[in-house]
């Protein structure tokens, strides 16, 4: 077990664009970072790239859409590394399509991965946080959970549900020194977004008052801020980081 005094952060969906930036920023800011993955080939490539860049981050395999597998993974992390102080619920997928044509499996896949995973992971760490009188839960939602988006009833429902979870849990655990917050990014320049056709990308950018996509490092900065000791009076909040695309 790690005997250092560094706070331990678990980032789910660590090998994606946002997850990678979060892991790097948290590591730079003095946290002990562990990541979650599901695809071994991607994890192996990711680990090599991170090591080449000087970032040594242990990855643990786990299907966070499964309560049992999330629990197995978290137990392994806490036995090998130590108690999880901060959980970043970042894992997510899309299966877009109009509701009239949506397959049942596409609905359940998105709800399970994007929303049920938040319960599956948080439920496994919350009692330890209560016992230690410290914890940070950070849920990565989306602008489309705030405003809706054509073709994303499954995704928008899951992402909106994340903040409902945040608000209620924040009330339950505030007296135990645990904060629970949501971050709702707009369109961020991940590999997935940058791979869309140029015409579509131009249309997306035209909808953003700042006139550009967000940077993964900008979202990562906000994650690290909320994970810090100094944000103990911020809880139940939903941080929009969307370049002005959706304001209210």
Strands in the chain per DSSP E: 8-11, 32-37, 58-61, 86-89, 135-140, 178-185, 238-241
Structure tokens at 193: 């977004």
Catalytic residue among 37, 60, 67, 155: 155
Pairing of strands 32-37, 58-61: parallel
| Residue 155 among the catalytic residues | yes
CA atoms within 13 A on the CB side of 128: 18
For 50, the enclosing helix (H) or strand (E) is helix 40-52
Q: CA angle at residue 77 from 137 to 75, to 5 degrees?
A: 90
Cα distance between residue 205 and residue 219, in whole Å: 17
CB-based contacts of 96, cutoff 8 Å, min separation 6:
151, 152, 155
Question: Residue 98: how many CA atoms within 13 Å on its side-chain side?
Answer: 2
As annotated, the active-site residues are 155
């Amino acid at each position: 077990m790690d005997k250092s005094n560094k706070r331990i952060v678990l980032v789910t969906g660590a090998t994606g664009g946002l997850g990678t930036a979060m892991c790097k920023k948290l590591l730079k800011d003095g946290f002990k970072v562990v990541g979650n993955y599901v695809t071994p080939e991607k994890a192996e490539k990711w680990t090599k790239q991170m090591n080449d860049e000087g970032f040594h981050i242990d990855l643990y395999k786990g299907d966070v859409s499964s309560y049992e597998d999330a629990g197995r993974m978290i137990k392994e992390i806490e036995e090998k590394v130590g108690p999880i102080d901060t959980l970043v619920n970042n894992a997510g997928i899309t299966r877009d399509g109009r509701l009239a044509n949506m397959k049942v499996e596409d609905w359940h896949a998105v709800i399970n991965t994007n929303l049920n995973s938040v319960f599956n992971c948080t439920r496994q760490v919350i009692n330890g946080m209560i016992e230690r009188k410290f914890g940070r839960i950070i849920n990565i939602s989306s602008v489309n959970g705030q405003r809706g988006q054509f073709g994303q009833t499954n995704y928008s429902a899951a992402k909106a549900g994340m903040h409902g979870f945040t608000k209620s849990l924040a009330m339950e655990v505030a007296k135990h020194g645990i904060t629970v917050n949501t971050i709702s990014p707009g369109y961020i320049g991940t590999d997935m977004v940058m791979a869309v056709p140029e015409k579509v990308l131009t249309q997306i950018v035209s909808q953003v008052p700042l006139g550009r996509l967000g940077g993964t490092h900008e979202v990562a900065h906000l994650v690290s801020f909320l994970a810090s000791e100094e944000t103990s009076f911020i809880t139940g909040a939903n941080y929009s980081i969307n370049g002005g695309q959706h304001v209210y």
